[in-house]
Amino acid sequence: MVSAGDFRNGLTVEVEGNVYQVIEFQHVKPGKGAAFVRTKLKNIVSGGVVEKTFRPTEKFEQAHIERRDMQYLYSDGELYNFMDAENYDQIALNADTVGDSLKFVKENETVKVCSYKGSVFAIEPPLFVELEITETEPGVKGDTATGATKPAIVETGAQVLVPLFVNLGDKIKIDTRTGEYLSRV
């Protein structure tokens, strides 16, 4: 059990039957009245963010999220297939569970599969990936004074904005959290 006074960023707790992760918290001691904890909580299943206040003495059950490294094997249209590298167990997840978290992930790459009480709710791709440009327009010389960008399609089919000097066939590094171009490889 965790009391609201012990909340920290990243902590996962069960509140009213839902599992939330603490994004922000603030201990407030007003001039009059009792102290309270103002929090911003993210529902780990739906992704929604709510703001709630609690008394510092309120207790909550800590939720244990299991993160396992699994290899992304392939997609057969509706299902995405993953394999546990330790015991070779395979699981198939539907598109609703996966969402767009695999748009920068190639087949046979390792991802983290997040589950709570045996039910998978999210896929965490690696923070940075290196992908090849498969489609882009050539850059125009002399048009670089503004730090201009152009759209490019990478080998997974995702679209990324890249600087004008990046050409077809170049390998680039992408931040999967924001989808931003970082550098050429």
pLDDT tens profile 66-85? 888 999 898 888 888 899 88
The model scores a pTM over 0.75: no
Domain boundaries in the chain?
2-62, 66-124, 128-184
CA dihedral 129, 68, 24, 181 (to 10 degrees): 0
Q: Name the DSSP class of 140.
A: P
Q: Which CATH architecture has domain 2-62?
A: Roll (2.30)
Pick the CATH number of 128-184 from 2.60.40.4070, 3.90.226.10, 2.60.40.10, 2.40.50.140: 2.40.50.140
Distances (CA, A) of 87 to 52, 81, 91: 41, 15, 12
Contact 107, 96 (CB under 8 A): no
Separation between Cα atoms, residue 30 and residue 34, nearest integer Å: 7
Q: Residue 123: its pLDDT value, please?
A: 84
Contact 70, 93 (CB under 8 A): no
Least Cα distance to 80 among 62, 100, 66, 63 occurs for: 100
Q: What angle do CA 21, 25, 31 make, to 5 degrees?
A: 150
Class for the domain spanning 66-124: mainly beta
DSSP state of 41: E
- Tell me how far apart the alpha carbons of residues 61 and 72 are, in angstroms, rounded to a whole number: 32
91-146 pLDDT per residue, tens: 888 887 787 788 888 888 899 888 888 778 778 888 898 999 999 888 766 655 66
Matching CATH topology for 66-124 and 128-184?
Answer: yes
Query: For the segment 28-53, what is each residue's pLDDT rounded down to a tens digit?
Result: 898 888 899 999 998 887 778 899 99
